[in-house]
Amino acid sequence: MASSTIQLEAVRARFPALGSGVAFLDAPGGTQCPRSVIDAIAAYLRESNANLGGAFAASRRSDELVELAHATAGRFLGCRAAETIFGQNMTTLNFALTRTLGRTLTAGDQILVTRLDHDGNVAPWLELAHDLDLGVDFVEIHSDTTLDLDDLERKLTERTRVVAFPLASNAVGTVPDATRVVELAHRAGALAWADAVHYAPHGPIDVAALGVDLLLCSPYKFFGPHLGLAFGREELLRSWRPYKVRPAADEPVGTRFETGTLPHELLAGFVTAVAYLDELGWDGIQLHERALGQRFLDGLPERCTLYGLETMEGRVPTFAFRVDGMPPREAAERLAARELAVWDGDYYAVEAMTRLGLQPEGAVRTGFVHYNTFEEVDRLLAALAEI
């Protein structure tokens, strides 16, 4: 019998959107926000809306908020506050940071990316390669969507400068062996560049334990506002020449890479989202999500073809599938008519969808987070059986 240590009714009461009757099974595309996050954003705009560095009270409160946001980010990622960087979103940050790294690269240098990656950790490297005459190669995945670590090892050379990889696939939920990826990258003298966007709502991140050199994520995937967040190892950040306006501060070092005025109200929401996760605790989140995922796997109708791992080992509860004889868009529309929110398409996981032979239509994708219920999973399974 499925079980959970989360007080689910109380948790769901904190999310205004969940009272609509819609089953939000679309978390891989973005999560809902608890009321505390919404209120924090509104409170900043009501009470502290000002730019930084002023002599007056609202500006001083904004200064304090930015400092608090960096401290919170450091605690969330397991690094120093000075090593954190905020930006518009993960993809925009990644384009900026890869371009900055590009100042240290030369023609013929190699970048490795994986077939599991979201294009936000592929396209920036392809564009950099176009500008600088670099080589970009793809680490393959097995038919079960696990990362081919032997292929990674084979493709590493003395010219490899970066190994870019995800902590979890946003398309099929696979969680690669990050420790091994980092070990192989560093053995070759390359940077380990991690996309944690899809992993962040499902488990704690500790960049020190992972050993990564740079990591990016998106608070809107873990119950916060639309925002980008990155960690960069201090020694690495100090070795780069940033793209910045001249009067902007050089310290703390991470702020060198924050161009323009930050969205202060969203930083307030981010701080509150992390506080919410701290209060709830990762143990309960992971236990409940694992049970939700197993419920889905156990009940998936025979007419549905799953792409990816068939157990909850080595994955997060994100699932790509097709309903036999039905285009993914039609399946998503039929489910939407039953107030079941899921995704269709390739979700910017271009390489994974191509490798699985699912382009151009992609697949149906559903994903669960801690606020989802067993009843919602059962509603989805029943609807899939009906359609």
Over the stretch 151-203, which tens digit does the pLDDT of each residue have?
Answer: 999 999 999 999 999 999 999 999 999 999 999 999 999 999 999 999 999 99
User: To 10 degrees, the CA torsion angle through 243, 232, 349, 20?
Assistant: -100
The values of phi and psi at residue 330, to 5°, are -65, -40
CB of 240 closer than 8 Å to CB of 100:
yes
Task: With residue 23 as reference, give the H or E element that holds it.
Answer: strand 23-24
Q: What is the mean predicted confidence (pLDDT) over 357-384?
A: 97
Task: With residue 62 as reference, give the H or E element that holds it.
Answer: helix 57-77
Band (364; pLDDT cuts 50, 70, 90): very high
Q: How far apart are the first and last CA of the chain?
A: 27
CB of 28 closer than 8 Å to CB of 320:
no
Sign of CA dihedral 299, 300, 303, 309: negative
Read off the pLDDT of residues 54-73 as tens digits, 9 standing for 90 and up.
999 999 999 999 999 999 99
Read off the pLDDT of residues 120-131 as tens digits, 9 standing for 90 and up.
999 999 999 999
Band (5; pLDDT cuts 50, 70, 90): confident
Q: What is the mean predicted confidence (pLDDT) over 135-154?
A: 98
Cα–Cα distance measured from residue 139 to residue 111, given in angstroms and rounded to the nearest whole number? 10
DSSP string, 198-246: TTTTTS---HHHHT-SEEEE-GGGTTS-S-EEEEE-HHHHHHS-----T
Instruction: Identify the residue whose tokens are 């039929």.
Output: 334
Mean pLDDT for the chain overall = 97
Coil, strand or helix at 307 = strand
Cα–Cα distance measured from residue 256 to residue 245, given in angstroms and rounded to the nearest whole number? 9
Coil, strand or helix at 150 = helix
CB of 211 closer than 8 Å to CB of 181:
no
Structure tokens at 204: 């704690």
What's the full length of the chain, in residues?
387
Domains and their CATH numbers in the chain: 8-25+281-386 (3.90.1150.10), 40-277 (3.40.640.10)
Model pTM? 0.96
Cα–Cα distance measured from residue 234 to residue 40, given in angstroms and rounded to the nearest whole number? 30
Asked if residue 3 has pLDDT above 60, the reply is: no
CB of 190 closer than 8 Å to CB of 161:
yes
Asked if residue 4 has pLDDT above 90, the reply is: no
Coil, strand or helix at 127 = helix
Using alpha carbons, select from 263, 229, 271, 234 the residue that is nearest to residue 250. 234
CB of 167 closer than 8 Å to CB of 329:
no
Structure tokens at 165: 């990889």
Instruction: Identify the residue whose tokens are 């929110």.
Output: 341
